[in-house]
Chain A
Amino acid sequence: MHLFSHEKLPATDDEKNETSTYRSDYIPDSSIPPFSRDGSAPDGTAIIRINHLSKVFAGKTKTVTAVNDVSFDVNRGEIFGLLGANGAGKSTLIRILTTLLSPTSGQAFVDNYDITKDPEKIREIIGVCAQNYTSDSELTAYDNLEFYGKLENVPDNILPDRIWELLKMAGLADRAYMPVGTFSGGMKRKLEIVRAFIHRPLILFLDEPTIGLDPEARREVWQQIMMLNAEHTTIILTTHYMDEAEKLCGRIAFVERGKLIALDTMENLRKLIPAGDLIEIGVDHMDPHAEEAIRNVTLVNAVSVVEHTVTISATNGSRVIPAILAVFEQYAIPIISISIRSPSLEDIFIYLTGKGLNNGDEQETPGKGGRRPL
Chain B
Amino acid sequence: MMRSAIAIFKRDFKKFLSNPFIIMMTLFMPIMYLVIFGNAFGGTLSHIPVGVVQEVPPYNDTPLFTDAVYQLNHISQTDADKLLDVTVYSDEAAAKQDLANGKLSAVIVFPSSVSNDNAVRLYVDSSDSITPPLVEAAVNQVLLGIGAHNPVTVDKIYGDIKYLQFFGVGVIMMAIFTATMFGGGIALIKDRENGIHEGYLVTPIKRSSIIMGIISSGTVRAFIAGFTIFWIDLLVTGIILQSFQDFLLVLLVILIACVGVTSLVVSFASRFASQQEYSSVIAFLNLILFMTSGAFYPVIGMPGWLRWITVINPEYYGIHALRSIILRNQGLNVIGIDLIALLVFSTAMIVLGIVTFRRTLE
Residues of chain B within 8 A (CB-CB) of A130 are 198-199, 202
Residues of chain A within 8 A (CB-CB) of B191 are 136
Choice from B197, B199, B203, B361 contacting A101 with Cβ under 8 Å: B361
Cα distance A98–B202 in the bound complex, in angstroms: 6
Count, chain A residues at interface, CB 8 A: 24
Residues of chain A within 8 A (CB-CB) of B204 are 120, 123-124, 151-153
Q: State how many angstroms separate the Cβ of A262 from the closest Cβ of chain B.
A: 28
Residues of chain B within 8 A (CB-CB) of A152 are 203-204
Whether the Cβ atoms of B202 and A128 lie closer than 8 Å is yes
Q: State how many angstroms separate the Cβ of A287 from the closest Cβ of chain B.
A: 46
B residues lining the A interface (CB < 8 Å) = 191, 195-206, 359-362
Cα distance A132–B195 in the bound complex, in angstroms: 8
Residue of B nearest to A151 (CB): B203
Name A121-155 residues within 8 Å CB distance of B.
Answer: 123-124, 126, 128, 130, 132-136, 147-148, 151-153
Residues of chain A within 8 A (CB-CB) of B203 are 123, 148, 151-152
**Beyond known contacts A135-B199, A136-B191, A148-B199: 14 more, CB 8 A cutoff:** A99-B201, A100-B201, A101-B360, A102-B360, A124-B204, A128-B199, A128-B202, A130-B199, A133-B196, A134-B196, A134-B197, A134-B198, A148-B200, A195-B199
Cα distance A264–B360 in the bound complex, in angstroms: 31
Cα distance A136–B188 in the bound complex, in angstroms: 12
Name A86-130 residues within 8 Å CB distance of B.
Answer: 95, 98-102, 119-120, 123-124, 126, 128, 130
Whether the Cβ atoms of A99 and B195 lie closer than 8 Å is no
A149-172 contact mask (Cβ, 8 Å, vs B): 1 or 0 = 001110000000000000000000
Residues of chain A within 8 A (CB-CB) of B206 are 120
Residues of chain A within 8 A (CB-CB) of B200 are 134, 147-148, 151
Cα distance A195–B198 in the bound complex, in angstroms: 13
Whether the Cβ atoms of A151 and B205 lie closer than 8 Å is yes
Q: State how many angstroms separate the Cβ of B34 from the closest Cβ of chain A.
A: 34
Choice from A95, A119, A128, A133 contacting B361 with Cβ under 8 Å: A95
Residues of chain A within 8 A (CB-CB) of B201 are 99-100
Residue of A nearest to B196 (CB): A134
Whether the Cβ atoms of B360 and A134 lie closer than 8 Å is no
Q: A101-B360, A101-B361 are in contact. Are A123 and B202 (CB under 8 A)?
A: yes
Q: A120-B204, A124-B204, A153-B204 are in contact. Are A100 and B199 (CB under 8 A)?
A: no
> Can you list 26 residue pairs at the A/B interface with Cβ under 8 Å?
A95-B361, A99-B202, A100-B198, A100-B201, A101-B361, A119-B359, A123-B203, A124-B204, A126-B202, A128-B199, A130-B198, A130-B202, A132-B195, A133-B196, A134-B195, A134-B196, A134-B198, A134-B199, A135-B196, A135-B199, A136-B196, A148-B199, A148-B203, A151-B200, A151-B205, A152-B203
Residue of A nearest to B191 (CB): A136
Name A313-354 residues within 8 Å CB distance of B.
Answer: none
Cα distance A231–B287 in the bound complex, in angstroms: 58
Q: State how many angstroms separate the Cβ of B18 from the closest Cβ of chain A.
A: 11
Residues of chain B within 8 A (CB-CB) of A151 are 200, 203-205
Residues of chain B within 8 A (CB-CB) of A136 are 191, 196
- Nearest 4 Cβ contacts at the A-B interface: A134-B199, A151-B203, A128-B202, A134-B196
Residue of A nearest to B200 (CB): A151
Residues of chain A within 8 A (CB-CB) of B360 are 99-102
Residues of chain B within 8 A (CB-CB) of A98 are 202
